[in-house]
Amino acid sequence: MKPDTVDHLRTQPMAANDLSIAYIGGGSRQWAPTLIQDLALAPYSGEVRLFDANLPAARKNARFGNWVQDTKETRGQWDYAAVEDIESALDGADIVVMSTQYDPRETFVHDLMIPKQFGIYGAVSATIGPGGIMRALRTIPVYREFADQVRTHCPNAWVFNFTNPVHFVTRALYDEFPDIKALGLCHEVSGTRSHLASIAERELGVSATREDIEVNVKGINHFTWIDEARYRGHDLWPILEDVADLKEARQQFSTEEMADESPFVDHWQVTWELFRRFGLLPAAGDRHLVEYANSFLQGGRAGLNRWGVKRTDSAYRAKHWTPAASDQTTDVEAWLAGDQDLELNSSRETFTEILAGLVGDDPYVTNVNLPNVGQVTGLESDTIVETNALVRTDSVSPLSAGSFPRPVRSMVGTHIDTIETVIDASRSGDLDRAFQGFLIDPQVRSLTPEDAATLFAELVDSQVDYLDDWDLTGSTVLSETE
Amino acid sequence: MKPDTVDHLRTQPMAANDLSIAYIGGGSRQWAPTLIQDLALAPYSGEVRLFDANLPAARKNARFGNWVQDTKETRGQWDYAAVEDIESALDGADIVVMSTQYDPRETFVHDLMIPKQFGIYGAVSATIGPGGIMRALRTIPVYREFADQVRTHCPNAWVFNFTNPVHFVTRALYDEFPDIKALGLCHEVSGTRSHLASIAERELGVSATREDIEVNVKGINHFTWIDEARYRGHDLWPILEDVADLKEARQQFSTEEMADESPFVDHWQVTWELFRRFGLLPAAGDRHLVEYANSFLQGGRAGLNRWGVKRTDSAYRAKHWTPAASDQTTDVEAWLAGDQDLELNSSRETFTEILAGLVGDDPYVTNVNLPNVGQVTGLESDTIVETNALVRTDSVSPLSAGSFPRPVRSMVGTHIDTIETVIDASRSGDLDRAFQGFLIDPQVRSLTPEDAATLFAELVDSQVDYLDDWDLTGSTVLSETE
Amino acid sequence: MKPDTVDHLRTQPMAANDLSIAYIGGGSRQWAPTLIQDLALAPYSGEVRLFDANLPAARKNARFGNWVQDTKETRGQWDYAAVEDIESALDGADIVVMSTQYDPRETFVHDLMIPKQFGIYGAVSATIGPGGIMRALRTIPVYREFADQVRTHCPNAWVFNFTNPVHFVTRALYDEFPDIKALGLCHEVSGTRSHLASIAERELGVSATREDIEVNVKGINHFTWIDEARYRGHDLWPILEDVADLKEARQQFSTEEMADESPFVDHWQVTWELFRRFGLLPAAGDRHLVEYANSFLQGGRAGLNRWGVKRTDSAYRAKHWTPAASDQTTDVEAWLAGDQDLELNSSRETFTEILAGLVGDDPYVTNVNLPNVGQVTGLESDTIVETNALVRTDSVSPLSAGSFPRPVRSMVGTHIDTIETVIDASRSGDLDRAFQGFLIDPQVRSLTPEDAATLFAELVDSQVDYLDDWDLTGSTVLSETE
Amino acid sequence: MKPDTVDHLRTQPMAANDLSIAYIGGGSRQWAPTLIQDLALAPYSGEVRLFDANLPAARKNARFGNWVQDTKETRGQWDYAAVEDIESALDGADIVVMSTQYDPRETFVHDLMIPKQFGIYGAVSATIGPGGIMRALRTIPVYREFADQVRTHCPNAWVFNFTNPVHFVTRALYDEFPDIKALGLCHEVSGTRSHLASIAERELGVSATREDIEVNVKGINHFTWIDEARYRGHDLWPILEDVADLKEARQQFSTEEMADESPFVDHWQVTWELFRRFGLLPAAGDRHLVEYANSFLQGGRAGLNRWGVKRTDSAYRAKHWTPAASDQTTDVEAWLAGDQDLELNSSRETFTEILAGLVGDDPYVTNVNLPNVGQVTGLESDTIVETNALVRTDSVSPLSAGSFPRPVRSMVGTHIDTIETVIDASRSGDLDRAFQGFLIDPQVRSLTPEDAATLFAELVDSQVDYLDDWDLTGSTVLSETE
């Protein structure tokens, strides 16, 4: 046999000057302009196909994308187009970006408000706890379908998933199509590294950015933990242990003080408390941590505010949604209309750095959500974990992050049990099985058994239009609570 | 070399007609007379050495033991003696019985009352949850000492541990002396089998006792689960699934209805609810189950009563304690004084059946708490699990009980994490580490972080005399909450 | 809902007086008369349906079965019938016996002779090594088909598999139908217990049978190991350690001495050598052990004989085959013809004791081959392991047997890797994948790579008619060695 | 508490311009000059302390080191000194290099020649098989002592171990001092990457070096396997599959053809054969592979030569040893004497690249031997595995390399069992236990049991002076074979 039988196409890598990018959810008002600007600043070229249930929104973003190319000092050359069906977007794609959301007025607002009526004062209610699980029930079937389409239309593509709940959703992609090359991405760990940089600046008298901070990070998205941190080789651990005993790490906040704060404010008080108790540094915003380490929610609004955390207002979330039909003028519209000047800026999201690694430029290390193939020992195989990974040409390799001390592993493991139970239930649409995952969530365990069932039924009832893939009529928990 | 060098003594089995039994806690008012009667009815002979911190109580029981021999139609011949130190009790023993308790007025009453002030309405507060963990902190060091004494004085003895919390205490015995032959014993599973017998009687129209019911049981003590049940080969599962839908399995109780009930009443409503939700049948009294599946506690007194469960009154517990110094006349005193007739009755505890198996009479199958050597897959090695075991001559072999469905495994696993964290902490007396185990207990997770710390500190403070083996002065959680 | 909806049939246990037994391979000349006599002596009744590719042989055995009932003082009442198809045999069976064999002249003789040409002097060549793997290749597809038939016709039946290689074959049954209730049975461990009884008799001056010997046994069939042995509670271990140093445990045999021995002779010299080296007592005949601990084969005939082991002559095996068409008069024929008196004797196989346990008579403990659900820790899940199990009404529960010291686990694990590789290959008939399992067999590893491939190809070629379910044409190893 | 209590020294990273390097075995004739030249070319400075049992040799190398600095255009500034005791070398070191060897005339020659007398035709006999195990027995106790010294004198140092058998030796370091930061290093994988680069050049028509080849590599040292290989993103797998079928991958060599070859020649025929059989590409020289995949040894000299592999001549090994007392003039002597010109060249060993990563220059990915913390799933924890790792400032993180197909895992696992058994034996010097590890080695399993024992005893006897830490007098295997 001759070696010229080798299928060269098959062995061909992605071409950095001819990339094909599919953007599912490309009508987004916030994320799409960001990505477009980041791409404009990256030294690559290709086409970007935007798909969105809201086609006009996708078209507007495509127009914006091409306008940026035409008018700006960009580095690469990108052609944008909105497409009418997902197949056209995915067909032959090298890169797939997934970032989608339902109308929060019909979904997310319920996730926030209904649990509150049962005394569950979730800060975000978007990735775990009753609201987060509900969001998972809506989203998992959609992403199963996406994974199936990827298998058909672009099985070798790298899929960047930004959609929450990242752990549930990324798990659904892999559960449906185990060979998918999907990365679950989130910037919470970056935020922690930035905070550590500011500590290093103050304590070591240096100048530092998050890129100077190397950490060993592990866990599940929004409940990640750091057990090593260095500023250019300086071990930050003894510094953290000292700072944890300072007044700044033992602040209390009143409800009045928090009244005018943004819901995104982060005083790190939850972080410091968990660090003192468990000896590891949590690496996500306090507003997320409280939903996983749920005792911080148990004091209601005052109890939450006391830690410097503020609940995301449902009105806020509804208002900041991204539909094109919104009555506000968006930045994109203002830029296109010339009413506002666009200064191209990198978002400091990791998307383009990862892309650079994949096309063979600089290797890049960042935190990524991936199936556990050993990077976190003590957590089960295949569940989605977040650790650092090394991005090289057409490959992403998780770094071994080791294991957890038992108490932390226990807390993380409980959430994995919920996630895996819901994923298992989603295979057949078994709502009663999903309810088992709901029942073992620590937030739900603070309710009586009756309240837990009623809460679940009310949540389902409020969003029944988004739950077509679940067996609602055969559900015992629904029929019992009618 | 000649075979006559074999050390025949070493290979000699226990002699059923010359057994040496040590009873640690032999001054007990309730358990000792029971054991004495059971032994009187067993076809074995030997000596029983009673050791108790309360020596007069042990002496009274020894007198009773010998009196029973003298006056009754007993089967074997037993000599009883109270001994002044534990070494004398253990030296060369074949069998060691351990059953001890501190004065509940100084300990258990606090375990019940202090958590209640924080809204934790534990039904028993003796084996898990804040009260149970507290009891573990007091008891583990004592049983480490006992294990050490067994190693020195009777390393080959079979040790029967009846002291609660059985999982913590049995784990401490093995952690201290890994080669100990200790069995953690409890009659909750027997109770479930008796209940199943009554169901079989009614549904199958037969006559049945617990001995007719074969089950596959697994879990940890007081949180064991059954996934197979047969009455003489009849599969009871479809019957259970039907009964779970009957009115009898969906009863609700008012606080008024429960007012005059004994705290030991068991309406199986918690059992049925868990069976319906998770598909496995819990095999412990409802009053224990609610402390492990803690959502049943979240409704306070009314919420608990609603399931037919009543909180153990602390006054009740204090009153029914067993010290010889009690002002009540005990049965033993009445029998010895001739004021009351003694009719020898088997207690239906499994002690004598296990003894029969160990000395080479009938093999016997019963539920036993032992280190996990594979009998429950999915739970970690070495932790103490409860499953059936086969008792044969000088051997006890656990039966493979298989694995759990994930949601149940998750609930069981969380408690194992608390147990193992506390055991680990007890190796060095690290109270802050023990507090980590406390923090991840689901009952405690219903408190705010501040309340959790305060509750822990108050519990420690209330019983400080019993916590000599713990590092109280170095504890951060204690110093923070002063 | 009313409890009378319970499907009473479904919960009905096997009726000991109305058993339905299917015997696959019921034309056997040796095993069938044994089973018939054992059943005649058991206090149960029912029907036995004999199925065999050789229908006349099955008919003769049926005639014999009924003749025994008519003429003998039997305890139960059994009706025998030969059936023409397997479906008729299995339909509604409570018990299925599987014991089949191909004509050894066309198969087994090759398994013995071809490896010998390559210097592999296997003693039995029937369960591991090149010959045993070859037998597995022939037999696995047939037993997949049997398992499928059981699923269709009698999914709740208890299946007794006596067919070798027991580990491969029992694994195939479970791989095809995971809910099958199949037991792999073998009398090698019984033989070891009998030998231990004779040692106990001599060393302790007692009278003992194998029933007096309790052991902890674990491993895979024909490579099982004992790490605890007691005679009525007497620990036999120190005795074994002494005996292992006696002359009797260090005998050497010449080829002349072995010339007239039966191939079934067992001098326990391999057993003692492995005991001395590894500290555990192997529990299978020496002739089997040498094929697993293959260094005993490396000295050829003299080397094997030196340990008191003799190779099974292929002529012997061919001659003692069981077809009805044999030119010899069988015992059954002689009994039926009245030429020979039949005295009913129990075979001391464990079949009827297991049956007794399953129908609810005495619980029974014996060694059984079952999927690993934790009974042997350190060996992987689901692979077929042999340990003790407790037989009770309609249930068989393995006893936890613990783990192995590493070197023994390593040796056992290597064979499991071969078994599992071949099973995996059999799912798709991938012969090259099966060859990987062949290559890692320690007997094969004593060959050069070229010889290993040639040996495999010659074995396949010699028995190609029995390998319909394998992809012979797509095999690289076959095409390379043509 | 104030943050100024932070121990700044403790958090200080290594200073690239003030490094302290200890070189254990610094008298080496080959490795030391290489290292000295590599350091001279690296942009770092500091001191290097050479320790060697042969002090004059260390002194000569120190002189050479300083001479290079004085006379060459070097990048950094290094001070060399020979020290008289290991404590002086290690005290406060940042980096420790370990590379030692006994006089091969007294050790290695026996490792090669004695097994050959038993028919074991090992190609190198230095890392596995009877000779390799023997070398491990000699070396492990020494490296336990080194690890203990590191714990005392420089616990935070990075230790580079180059001493064979790398897996045994690196394991001993960690077994003795679990917090040691030791890396086991070897260039075999680099060689494979170079070979892949040449394939890429030919098949893709490009120019390539090993740095252009990215692989996923895993296994144990000298028995590593690649399952992904890319040239700048081009998937090389389909190319390898084609090449494996070419004539070049199916060559045979005669003993005559091999007669004049260097023992280090590598024709990749073993590599291709294993690739064809098992579907993974081995990543070590063929001469090493044959000792792990031992069937290649089974044909003796001709059988080995047939694969293009040649046995390392023991004379060769003895001659190329490195003692200063050697009668040959060494390069170093020639350079110092001015008889030969020194042109500074990088060795292309990875030492300086790793050093660059550790001091905070470019992150670097290379294969390293480290305890398994999850980087290879399916192999046990803590055993030393070889995979890629990412080197960053003061940290080395293994990359997740996934699992093996079962047959390969089985072969690798068998060697791990030998390694771990010997390590376990070395804890107490139990020679009989070490012999168990010897017995399960596949090379040894091709011997009869008697030969295996005799071989072991002869090897021990030949090198008894190097085995002080083993219990020779209590060994059963030695006493039996006297």
Segments making up each domain of chain D, as ranges: 17-102+129-184, 103-128+186-321+363-475
Per-residue pLDDT reduced to its tens digit, C290-299:
999 999 999 9
Min distance C208 CA to chain B CA atoms (Å): 15
Fold of the C102-130+187-321+363-482 domain: LDH C-terminal domain-like (3.90.1820)
C13 touches chain B (CB under 8 A): yes
Architecture of domain B15-102+132-184: 3-Layer(aba) Sandwich (3.40)
Residue A215 contacts D, CB cutoff 8 Å: no
pLDDT grade for B13, boundaries at 50, 70 and 90: confident
Mean pLDDT of B87-104: 95
Write down the pLDDT at residue D9.
44
Instruction: Return d(Cα D60, Cα D32) in angstroms, integer.
Output: 10
CATH homologous superfamily of D103-128+186-321+363-475: AglA-like glucosidase (3.90.1820.10)
Contacts of A376 in chain D (CB under 8 A): 374
pLDDT in tens, D15-58: 899 999 999 999 998 889 999 999 999 999 999 999 999 999 99
Contact B184, B167 (CB under 8 A): yes
> According to the model, what pLDDT value does residue C326 have?
54
**What is the 3-class SS of chain A, one letter each residue?**
CCHHHCCHHHHCCCCCCCEEEEEECCCCCCHHHHHHHHHHHCCCCEEEEEECCCHHHHHHHHHHHHHHHHHCCCCCCEEEEEECCHHHHHCCCCEEEECCCCCCCCCHHHHHHHHHHCCCCCCCCCCCHHHHHHHHHHHHHHHHHHHHHHHHHCCCCEEEECCCCHHHHHHHHHHHCCCCEEEECCCHHHHHHHHHHHHHHHHHCCCCCHHHEEEEEEEECCEEEEEEEEECCEECHHHHHHHCCCHHHCCCCCHHHHHCCCCCCCCCHHHHHHHHHHCCEECCCHHHHHHHCHHHHCCHHHHHHCCCCCCCCHHHHHHCCCCCCCCCCCHHHHHHCCCCCCCCCCCCCCHHHHHHHHCCCCCEEEEEEEECCCCECCCCCCCEEEEEEEEECCEEEEECCECCCHHHHHHHHHHHHHHHHHHHHHHHCCHHHHHHHHHCCCCHHHCCHHHHHHHHHHHHHHCHHHCCCCCCCCCHHHHHCC
d(CA C108, CA C121): 14
Search chain B and give the residue with CA nearest C3: B242
Taking CA–CA distances from C239, the nearest residue in chain B reads B6
pLDDT in tens, C398-432: 999 999 999 999 999 999 999 999 999 999 999 99
Question: In this complex, do A295 and B406 lie within 8 Å of one another by their Cβ atoms?
Answer: no
Cβ contact B214–C373 (<8 Å):
no
Among D295, D406, D448, the residue with its CB nearest the CB of C449 is D295
The yes-or-no answer on residue C222 being catalytic is: no
Identified catalytic residue from C153, C187, C222, C415? C187
Interface contact B440-A410, CB threshold 8 A: yes
Distance from CA of A182 to the nearest CA of D (A): 16
Would you state the structure tokens that stand for residue A221, as one six-digit string?
A: 């998205």
Distance from CA of C250 to the nearest CA of D (A): 11
CB contact, 8 Å: C294 with chain D? yes
**Lowest mean pLDDT: which of A31-40, B191-200, D156-165, D175-184?**
A31-40
Domain A12-102+127-184 belongs to what topology? Rossmann fold (3.40.50)
pLDDT tens digits, one per residue of C293-349: 999 999 999 999 999 999 987 777 677 665 545 566 788 888 888 888 888 888 877
What number of residues does chain A have?
482
Do the Cβ atoms of C390 and B365 come within 8 Å?
yes
pLDDT of residue D326: 54
Residue A405 has pLDDT above 80, yes or no: yes
d(CA C24, CA D421): 45
Report CB contact under 8 Å: D421, C406.
yes
Percent of chain A exceeding pLDDT 70 equals: 95
The confidence band for C11, taking pLDDT boundaries of 50, 70 and 90, is low
Work out the angle at residue B379's Cα, subtended by the Cα atoms of residues B297 and B448, and round it to the nearest 5 degrees.
35
Whether there are 3 or more C-beta pairs closer than 8 Å between A and B is yes
* CA separation for the pair B472, B474 (Å, rounded): 6
pLDDT of res. D1: 36
Cβ contact C51:C24 at 8 Å: yes
Closest CB from A11, A214, A238 relative to D395: A214
Tens digits of per-residue pLDDT, B313-348?
Answer: 777 767 766 554 556 678 888 888 888 888 888 887
What is the tens place of the pLDDT at every residue in B232-252? 999 999 999 999 999 999 999
Choose the mutation target among B448, B451, B478 for the interface with A, i.e. most A CBs under 10 Å: B448
> Residue D217: what residue type?
V
Indicate the DSSP class of residue C277.
H
User: Is the pLDDT assigned to residue A254 strictly greater than 50?
Assistant: yes
Cβ–Cβ below 8 Å for B442 and A445: yes
Identify the active-site residue in D110, D167, D187, D195.
D187
Per DSSP, the three-state class of C406 is helix
| pLDDT at residue A8 is higher than 50 | no
- Asked if A320 has any chain B CB less than 8 Å from its own CB, the reply is no
Contacts of B216 in chain C (CB under 8 A): 395, 397
Residue B7 has pLDDT above 50, yes or no: no
Query: How confident is the model over A302-345, as pLDDT tens digits?
Result: 999 999 999 987 777 677 665 545 566 788 888 888 888 888 88
| Average model confidence (pLDDT) across chain A | 93
Contacts of A365 in chain D (CB under 8 A): 363, 390, 392
Predicted complex ipTM: 0.95
The CATH label, of 3.30.420.40, 1.10.4010.10, 3.30.70.260, 3.90.1820.10, for the domain at B103-131+186-321+341-482 is 3.90.1820.10
The active-site residue, picked from B110, B187, B222, B267, is B187
User: Chains B/D: 3 or more C-beta pairs closer than 8 A?
Assistant: no
Higher-pLDDT residue of B362 and C454 is C454
pLDDT, position D321: 64
Q: Is the pTM of this model over 0.90?
A: yes
Q: What is the mean pLDDT of residues D380-403?
A: 97
Is C in contact with D (3 or more beta carbon pairs below 8 Å)? Answer: yes
Alpha-helix runs per DSSP H in D82-236: 86-90, 108-117, 129-153, 166-176, 188-204
Chain A residues 17-76 with a CB less than 8 Å from chain B: none
Chain C interface includes B245 (CB < 8 A): yes
Say if domain D17-102+129-184 classifies as CATH 3.60.15.10.
Answer: no
In chain C, what percentage of residues exceed pLDDT 90? 83
Res A5 pLDDT > 70: no
Residue D322's pLDDT band (cuts 50, 70, 90): low
**pLDDT tens per residue, range D393-438:** 999 999 999 999 999 999 999 999 999 999 999 999 999 999 999 9
Query: What is residue C165's predicted lDDT score, i.e. its pLDDT?
Result: 98
The whole-angstrom distance between B160's CA and the closest CA on chain C is 19
Nearest of C166, C126, C99 to residue C314 by alpha carbon? C126
Closest CA to D130 of D120, D142, D140, D117: D120
Nearest CB neighbour to A448, from listed B277, B299, B451? B299
